[in-house]
Amino acid sequence: MDEEEATEEEIKEVVIEPGKAFIEIVTLDSEGCPPCQYMCETVRKVEDRYGEKLKWRETLVKTRAGIKRMGQLGVKNLPALLINNDVVFDNIIPTEKELVEEINKRL
Amino acid sequence: MNGKERVLRALNFEKLDRAPWVPYSGVQTGNLMGMDAETYLKNADNIVAGIEKAYELYKPDGLPIVFDIQVEAEAIGCQLQWSKNNPPAVRTHILDQVPLEDLKIPSKDDGRYPIVLEAAEKLVKSIGDEVALYSLICGPFTLALHLRGTEFFTEMIEEPDKAKELLRYCTEVGKELSRLYGTTGVPIVAVVDPMVSQISPRHFKKFVTPYLEDLNTYVKSLGMKVTTFCCGDATKNLDLMCQTNTDGIAFDENIDLAFAKEVASKHKVSFAGNLPLTTVMLFGSPRENVEEAQKALDVGGVQGFILSPG
């Protein structure tokens, strides 16, 4: 699992590397919000096929750092799925196929 | 007029002396009791004590009994993952292991049904005359996701008949739990379907409307009020939600209250919301919370509006 923990202190900027995709899912909390949970689950279902080429993390807006990050990214709705800092799925959970297509475009 | 009457009249879209206040005291109520979510949600007496405490502290007009929409999935056979401060999350999807035709409709003895029904019965007796108690059930669309997992989205596109078959089953599960809650004397069923914000109006009409309408009509036939909860930006589907024979809709801060009022009022449906959860309720000062509530009350008015967290 390449999931990175988003902390209260600081949320690191996403570094975009050529040939790689970084997914950031901005959520209320995937433990208590079904739409957030299922958006994360869609990513978990495809992550194995990409190995080192795909990293992802969940950014919770239940922290001040998360709220700040949401503003920086221009995210308006939750949950939102970003790939390489672009909002790609805004309050719409993609199918596996749709997600794979969007990841592949960026590799 | 007491709180219960005020909420029930709001759900009739009647003009009132003031808007009712219904805080969604969920797992947070466990916190009031110094308990984690699992300890709280697995014991009827803990739930009763927590809700009675919330009634005393928050002076509400209405309260949910148990805010956990994983109860049905657990009773059907999904494994849950418990955490300290949140309701449990569904971790395994039963339809990965068992075909739909082998699933039964849970009865009063399955999973945590005995716990939530006992809590409901006791609360109806202790505070149910003064406060409007809401029994929460999982909406058919969200329950389908719990049982099937995210493959359900693919199924909606590639095998719609299979998806509809599952939704029919989920509707029957909801009807039965509503009926069981009805036997305890709880006056309101809240159908909580957060996943409906995640689909287009076209899919809503196809995969949500028929099932919600069927469920809501059934709940009303039991002599109970029914209201429909969503979460996230369901703006695009709000009008359709009002057209499911529901008495009310409830939504969070992602939906503009003035817009919701306009849509709901057109259908003479109650509308509940939407104090911002994190920016105001979690991080704001008491004064900021009061100001936000006042703004919502000014916009919502006194006909059909119920002040609630988002």
State whether residue B133 is helix, strand or coil. Answer: strand
Q: How far apart are alpha carbons B307 and B310 in whole angstroms? A: 9
User: Helix, strand or coil for residue A22?
Assistant: strand
pLDDT band (50, 70, 90) for residue A46: very high
Count helices and strands (H / E) in chain B. Answer: 14, 9
Q: Is B13 left (phi over 0), alpha (psi -120 to 50) or beta?
A: left
Nearest to A95 among B145, B154, B197 (CB): B154
Phi, psi of B252 (to 5 degrees): -105, -170
Question: Which DSSP helix (H) or strand (E) runs through B124?
Answer: helix B113-126
- Chain A positions touching B279 (Cβ under 8 A) are 67
Q: What was the pLDDT predicted at A8? A: 54
The overall average pLDDT reported for chain B is 96
Among B51-55, B83-87, B171-175, B277-281, the range scoring the smallest mean pLDDT is B277-281
Distance between CA atoms of residues B260 and A33, nearest Å: 22
Q: What is the pLDDT of residue A62?
A: 86
CATH number assigned to the domain with residue range A21-105, chosen from the 4 options 3.40.30.10, 3.30.565.10, 1.20.1090.10, 3.40.640.10: 3.40.30.10
Chain B touched by A84 (CB under 8 Å):
no
Separation of alpha carbons B161 and B190, rounded Å = 27
Residue A10 pLDDT greater than 80, yes or no: no
Q: Taking residues B213-225, what's their average pLDDT?
A: 98
Whether residue A61 is predicted with pLDDT greater than 80 in this model: the reply is yes
Contact B139, B179 (CB under 8 A): no
Q: What residues of chain B lie within 8 A of the CB of A95, using their CB?
A: 150, 153-154, 157
What is the structure's pLDDT at A32?
Answer: 83
Could you tell me which of B70, B2, B60 has the C-alpha nearest to residue B38?
B70
Tokens of B219: 């709940």
Residues of B in contact with A97 (CB under 8 A): 154
Angle subtended by helix axes B151-158 and A96-105, to nearest 10? 100
Residue range B189-208: mean pLDDT, rounded: 95
> Whole-prediction pTM value?
0.94
CB contact under 8 A, B277 and A28: yes
Q: How many CB pairs under 8 A join A and B?
A: 74
What is the tens place of the pLDDT at every residue in B81-106?
A: 999 989 999 999 999 999 999 999 99
Distance CA B266, CA B252 (A): 20
Distance CA B161, CA B113 (A): 30
Question: Which span out of B25-39, B198-212, B279-293 was modeled with the highest average pLDDT?
Answer: B198-212
Q: What is the mean pLDDT of residues B265-294?
A: 93
Q: State the pLDDT confidence band at A9, using cuts at 50, 70 and 90.
A: low
| Average pLDDT score over chain A | 89
Q: Residue A1 — pLDDT band, cuts 50, 70, 90?
A: very low
> Quick one: average pLDDT of B139-161?
96
- Whether B29 contacts B22, CB under 8 Å: no
* Angle subtended at Cα B286 by Cα B249 and Cα B129, rounded to the nearest 5 degrees: 50
Indicate the residue type of B55: Y
Distance between B33 CA and the closest CA of chain A, angstroms: 20
Cα–Cα distances in Å, from B140 out to A30, B171, B206? 20, 5, 13
- For the stretch B4-27, pLDDT in tens is 999 999 999 999 999 999 999 888
A104 versus A63: the higher-pLDDT residue is A104
Look at residue B23 in the predicted model and tell me its pLDDT. Answer: 96
Q: Give the tokens for residue B170.
A: 């989920």
The token duo for B212 is: 């919600």
CATH of the domain at B156: 3.20.20.210
B275: containing domain: 3-309
Residues 7-36 of A with CB under 8 A from B: 28-35
Whether the pLDDT of residue A2 is over 70: the answer is no
What's the rounded mean pLDDT across residues B235-261? Answer: 96
pLDDT confidence of A3, banded at 50, 70, 90?
very low
Q: DSSP code of B169?
A: H
Residue B61 near residue B54, CB atoms below 8 Å: no
Say if residue B310's pLDDT is above 80: no
Q: Inspect the interface and report whether the beta carbons of B150 and A33 lie closer than 8 Å.
A: no
Per-residue pLDDT, B118: 98
Each residue's pLDDT tens digit, B103-134:
999 999 999 999 999 999 999 999 999 999 99
Number of domains in chain B: 1
User: CA of B6 to nearest chain A CA: how many angstroms apart?
Assistant: 29
pLDDT at B193: 96
pLDDT at residue B25, rounded to an integer? 86
**In what order do the strands lie in the sheet containing A54-60?**
A54-60, A21-27, A80-83, A86-90
Q: What band does B172 get if pLDDT is binned at 50, 70 and 90? A: very high
Cis amide prior to B187 (ω within 30 degrees): no
